A and B are shown apart, each in its own frame.
Chain A
Amino acid sequence: MIRFILSKLLYLVPTFLGITIIAFSFVRVLPGDPVLLMAGERGVTPERHAQLSAQLGYDKNVVLQYFDFLGRLLHGDLGNSLVTKKPVLTEFLTLFPATVELGLCAIVIATVIGVPVGVIAAIRRGSWFDQISMTGALVGFSMPIFWWGLLLIILFSGMLGWTPVSGRINLLYFFPDVTGFMLIDSLLSGQDGAFASALSHLILPSIVLATIPLAVIARQTRSAMLEVMGEDYVRTARAKGMPPRRVIGVHALRNAMIPVVTTIGLQIGVLMAGAILTETIFSWPGIGKWMIDSISRRDYPVVQSGLLLIAGLVMLVNLLVDLTYGLINPRIRNQ
């Protein structure tokens, strides 16, 4: 198992280097002079320009600049935002819990609904439940979620007035950041109604973000179940006279879950892309909105490092998924 983990880790090194090269060249290929860009509209004198260039290392050879960039990266220095002047890493860490909270809620909704729906659809193949749920899954899979979010706002916030339109919590409540997760912090604060307010802010964005993963998980679970139920060992278990509930629960479901776990893990990339749209629609103060705002504000250090952090994170989660896969399926490990 240790060899398996090490080989997977080793495999990640070139990919990660590639990601740093992309993030690095991003600022280099941008039209315009980075020094002028940082100086802003006031402009700089030629002497100051040269001084800034030297200070930021832009007068050096590109390859050397890349190694400088890599060196700073290894020391945890991701540069400062042009707009807020704060370190990018600090900003990232402040906003990150909001996105994690949203993403976790979404993946929990998607899994808790998607897996049972897929299993039932497979067991009752061809039934009305199968047909309706799989049609629903296809609609969900095809959904432009930015539009879906707007529709839900029209219905639940506009017409019914049940949920707020944007933000993470009502501004009336104020309590210290303990975990960064609004649901937990609001409970810890002990203020009346704070938790309910946080929950009501979270519910619509989570549903919107969960839509596509839910559809994917339901479809994947159904096809994995169908495949497993055609296997010899399931037929044997049935032939032995084992009760159907046990055949499905013990023999079929456990084996069908292997590809499903992978599918759930791989939704992290989908979630990040979805978070950009969901957070924009609901003004959710997370990483996705931060990236969009930084792109439109031309805050390039943030875009560069944000890209790096997000890609690195997706890579790490994919590694974890790979390792889990190796853990539950020894055949993969020994290849």
Chain B
Amino acid sequence: MSEASAKIAEVSLRRRQLAEFWFYFSQNRGAVIGLVVFILLVLIALAAPLLSPHNPIVQNRDALLVPPIWQEGGRAGYLLGTDAVGRDMLSRLIYGSQYSLFIGVVVVSIALVGGIVIGLLAGFFGGWVDSVIMRVMDVILAFPSLLLALVLVAVLGPGLTNAMIAIAIVYQPHFARLTRAAVMSEMRREYVTAARVSGAGNLRLMFRTILPNCLAPLIVQATLSFSSAVLDSAALGFLGMGAQPPSPEWGTMLAEAREFILRAWWVVTLPGLAILISVLAINLMGDGLRDALDPKLKRS
């Protein structure tokens, strides 16, 4: 077979795998709904400057705690009302989506890359390397994640960047463990021995030969971590340790709204609803991904 036809065969194989994946993914109605909502969220985040009617951090002193438009006292121009210092809720919610998605992407990227490298090292070399790495991961996992993230932020100083780093550090052992387990089961396969015999170096074996075959569980874990990252960063924001005011981050918005819970339902209800909808959409997608990528479930 010539090189060109080998390439074509590979492309058609990829396409067939993708089609098969989509077939199983689209069977799950919830997963498709989750995907649609998630795409909408991404679009909203990208088009935030175009969509939002007001500047999210400008305070309008003549419009404090204005209720949503359908309620008595609501004003045209403030569709979802305003908060205690007269900032437009809708605009803040729209800009908030940027924060959540950004946090999710950054946290998952750091945790994923770190976890893959550490897990590959542990699984590939085994022995004392494996023992040392896994004991360190056990130590991190012994702390409740939110608590460790909180303390890390206290050390690093409150703020969005530090919150993201802290959450990524806390999530990273999950990826390391998954990668290690997958690598260890792949190492026994013949194709790895074949690659080794034909002279592939350690790095090539690790990243080109083995890693691509370990990706399925990592993708599922990445989706789940994405939603947890959105939740945990909102929790840190709520506790005053994440994004700092006046950023329109949803958790921070909730923290600022706490004292008005019995007077102005919209300042409390809406940011939380935004968090719930985003997290739910991502989790729905994660369930669909797991079903589509897990060969054990495919036949059932």
Which residues of A does B touch, CB under 8 Å? 14-15, 18-19, 21-22, 26, 29-31, 135, 138-139, 141-144, 146-148, 150-151, 153-154, 158, 230, 269-270, 272-273, 276-277, 280, 291-292, 295-296, 298, 303, 307, 310-311, 314-315, 318
25 examples of A-B residue contacts, CB within 8 angstroms? A14-B135, A18-B138, A21-B139, A22-B143, A26-B155, A29-B155, A138-B30, A141-B283, A142-B279, A143-B276, A146-B234, A146-B238, A147-B254, A150-B272, A276-B146, A276-B239, A277-B239, A280-B239, A292-B150, A295-B241, A311-B143, A314-B142, A314-B143, A314-B144, A315-B142
Would you call B269 and A151 a contact (CB within 8 A)?
A: yes
B272 close to A147 (CB less than 8 A) = yes
Known: A154-B261, A295-B154, A314-B143. A139 touches B235 (CB 8 A): no
Question: Contact partner of B276 among A31, A144, A318, CB < 8 A?
Answer: A144
Q: Which of B151, B251, B271 has the most CB of A within 10 A?
A: B151
CB within 8 Å for A273 and B276 given contacts A26-B151, A26-B155, A295-B150: no
Interface set of B (CB-CB < 8 Å, partner A): 30, 135-136, 138-139, 142-148, 150-151, 154-155, 157, 227, 231, 234-235, 238-241, 251, 254, 258, 261-262, 265, 268-269, 271-272, 275-276, 279-280, 283-284, 287, 300
Task: List chain B residues, Cβ under 8 A from A270.
Answer: 144
Q: Taking CB as reference atom, which chain A residue is nearest B300?
A: A230
Q: Is B147 touching A307 in the complex (CB atoms < 8 A)?
A: yes
B155 contacts across to A, CB distance below 8 A: 26, 29-30
Q: Which residues of chain A are near B143, meaning CB under 8 Å?
A: 19, 22, 307, 310-311, 314
Chain A residue, CB-CB nearest to B257? A150
Smallest CB-CB separation from A22: which chain B residue?
B139
- Contact A144 B279, beta carbon cutoff 8 Å: yes
- Contacting residues, chain A, for B284 (C-beta < 8 A): 138
Complex interface: chain A residues within 8 A of B300 (CB): 230
Point out the residues of chain B lying under 8 angstroms from A29, CB to CB.
155
Most buried by A among B144, B148, B251, B276: B144
B60 to chain A, nearest CB (A): 25
Report the bound CA distance from A277 to B275 in whole Å: 16
| A318 to B139 alpha-carbon distance, docked (Å) | 13
**Helix, strand, loop or mixed for chain A's interface?**
helix
Q: For B154, what are the chain A residues with a Cβ–Cβ distance below 8 Å?
A: 295, 298, 303
With both beta carbons as reference points, the residue of chain A lying nearest to B262 in the complex is identified as A158
**With contacts A15-B138, A142-B283, A144-B275 known, is A277 near B147, CB below 8 A?**
no
Per the bound structure, the CA–CA distance linking A280 and B138 in Å amounts to 28
* In the bound complex, CA of A270 to CA of B144 (Å): 7
How long is the Cα–Cα vector from A175 to B256 in the complex, in angstroms? 36
Contact B254 A154 (CB under 8 A): no
Is there contact, CB below 8 Å, between A272 and B144?
A: yes
Contact A142 B147 (CB under 8 A): no
In the complex, are the beta carbons of A18 and B238 less than 8 A apart?
Answer: no
Q: How far is the CA of A296 from the CA of B143 in the complex (A)?
A: 19
Across-interface contacts of A315 in B (CB, < 8 A): 142
A143 (CB) vs chain B CBs: closest residue = B276
Please give, as numbers and ranges, the residues of chain B lying within 8 Å of A280 by CB-CB distance: 239
Residues of B contacting A22 in the complex (Cβ-Cβ under 8 angstroms): 139, 143
- Set of chain B residues within 8 Å of A269, measured between Cβ atoms: 144-145
Complex: how many Å from CA A48 to CA B135? 41
Question: Hey, which chain B residues are within 8 Å of A318, CB to CB?
Answer: 142
- Write the chain B residue with the least CB distance to A27: B155
B276 engages A291 (CB within 8 Å): no
On chain A, the residues within 8 Å of B146 by CB distance are: 273, 276-277
Contact B235 A277, beta carbon cutoff 8 Å: yes
Cα-based distance from A333 to B113 in the complex (angstroms): 35
A21 to B139, CA, bound (A): 10
Question: Would B280 and A139 count as touching, CB distance under 8 A?
Answer: yes
Q: A15-B138, A22-B139, A22-B143 are in contact. List 14 more A-B contacts (CB 8 A).
A: A14-B135, A19-B142, A26-B155, A138-B280, A139-B276, A143-B276, A146-B234, A151-B268, A151-B272, A273-B144, A273-B147, A277-B146, A307-B148, A310-B143
B299 to chain A, nearest CB (A): 11
A303 to B241, alpha carbons, bound, how many Å?
15
Contact between chains at B144 and A295 (CB < 8 Å)? no
- Contact partner of A154 (CB less than 8 A), chosen from B147, B239, B265, is B265
The residue on B at minimum CB distance from A139 is B280
Given contacts A18-B135, A18-B136, A18-B138, contact A291 B147 (CB under 8 A): yes
Interface centre among B136, B138, B157 (most CB of A within 10 A): B138
Least CB distance from B229 to A in Å reads: 13
Cβ of A222 to closest chain B Cβ, rounded Å: 13
Known: A292-B150, A307-B151. A150 touches B254 (CB 8 A): yes
Question: What chain B residues lie within 8 Å of A295 (beta carbons)?
Answer: 150-151, 154, 241
Q: Which of A138, A146, A272 contacts B147 (CB 8 A)?
A: A272
CB distance from B274 to the nearest CB of A (A): 10
Find out whether the CB atom of A273 lies under 8 angstroms from the CB atom of B145: yes
Q: In the bound complex, do residue B136 and residue A150 qualify as a contact, i.e. CB atoms below 8 Å apart?
A: no
Complex contact A144–B147 (CB within 8 A) = no
Bound together, the chains give a CA A18 to CA B148 distance in angstroms of 14
A30 to B240, alpha carbons, bound, how many Å? 19
| Bound CA span A14–B139, Å | 9
Smallest distance from the beta carbon of B223 to chain A beta carbons, Å? 12
